[in-house]
A and B are shown apart, each in its own frame.
Chain A
Amino acid sequence: MEQIQEKEKTGIDIKDIKGILKKFHNTSESLIAILQEIQKTFNYIPQESVSETAKYLDIPLHQVYSVATFYKAFSLKPKGRNIIQVCMGTACHVRGAQQILEEIERQIGIKSGDTSEDGEFSLETVNCLGACALGPIMVVNGEYHGNMVTSKVSRLLKEYSKK
C-alpha cells in the first residue's frame, strides 16, 4: 500500500483541480471518473486534489482515499517522464514476459511499480493489453513494442532516455 506523503509544495494549482471538478456532476457516482481525469492530467493523484474532490462531492475524505488506493489506475506518487508498461497477460506470460520484465528491472535498477530516482522511467505491469498476437509486449508512453526479446531491451530503453 502506498503511503500518503505529506508534501509542502507539489506545484499544483488548485484552480486546475477546480477546473477539472467543474466538468463533472457533483454526485458520488462521478468519483472514479474525476480521479481518472486527475490522474490523466497530472499523471498521479496530488494530495490537494483528494481534499478538493471530497469537498466538491460532499463525501468524507476517507471515501476518496479508499477509492484512490483500491483501484490500480490511480497512483498517489508522481510518475516518471517515460512510462513503461509490461503486459503480464497470460499469452505474454507463456511467451516469456517475466524475463522481459526482469531485464527491464535490471537495466533501470527499479522494481515494477517504482519510478527511477532521476525521474526518467516509471515501470508498471498491466494485466492484458489485448494485443496478444504481438506478445510479449511492452508499451512505452503509449507506443507498442511487440515480440520483445530480452536482448532488445537495453537498446530500446536507451532510445527513450535520450528523447
Chain B
Amino acid sequence: MPVTIDARGLACPQPVIMAKKAIEENEQITVLVDNDMAVENIRRLALKLACGFSVAEREAGVWEVALVRMGPTVEAVKDGSPGMQEDELSCTVPTGKETGPLVVILSDNHMGRGDDVLGDILIRSFIHTLLQLQPRPDKVICYNSGVKLAVKDSAVLDDLQVLAKEGVEILVCGTCVNYFELGDQVAAGHISNMYDIAETMAGAGRLLRP
C-alpha cells in the first residue's frame, strides 16, 4: 500500500522534506500538496534519488505527487548525504520567470560559427525545437542576419508564425530589415526598434542565444 503524506497548507520546504523522509522509508509514496513550488521541489528530489515520478491535479489547486523507488539508489544517496542538500530546498519555482521573461536572441541566420551550411541546418533545427520547449520562450528578438529568418521564403517562417500565434512576441530589428532591403518581406512578428530591443533584453529573466 502506498503511504500518503498530506503536505497541504505547509510552507516550503516542509513538503519536500516530508517527501524525502517518507520515500527513504517506503517503496512508494503519494504526497498531497497545494502549490507548484512543492511539486517542483519533489520533482527534483525524484530526479536526484532516481525515483519514478508522476503528478496529477486531483482538484483545483491540489496535486497528488507519486514517487516510486526504482532501485537501491535511495539508500546510496541517503548514506552519501545525510542532510538535505541546499539545491533541493529551493523555495522558488525554477521556471526562470521570477526575474523576467525568457527571451531568445536570433542574431544570425546560422547557429554557431565554423560552417555556414551546417549553421543553417542547426538554426532551423533549433527554431523548430522552440515549439516544444518548456517553458515556452516569451519573446524572440531577430537582429542582424537573424531578421532573414522572419521573412518570406525563410525555411523557419512557419515555425516562427506558430510561435507568434501562440503568443510569443517576435521583435524584428527595423534597421536590419532596412539594411538588407527586406522591408516588405517580414512575415512573422513585427518590426521593432533598438529601444524596444534593448529594453526587452535588459528586462529578460534569461537570454537564450543559439
Question: Do the two chains bind?
Answer: no
Interface residues of A (CB under 8 A from B): none
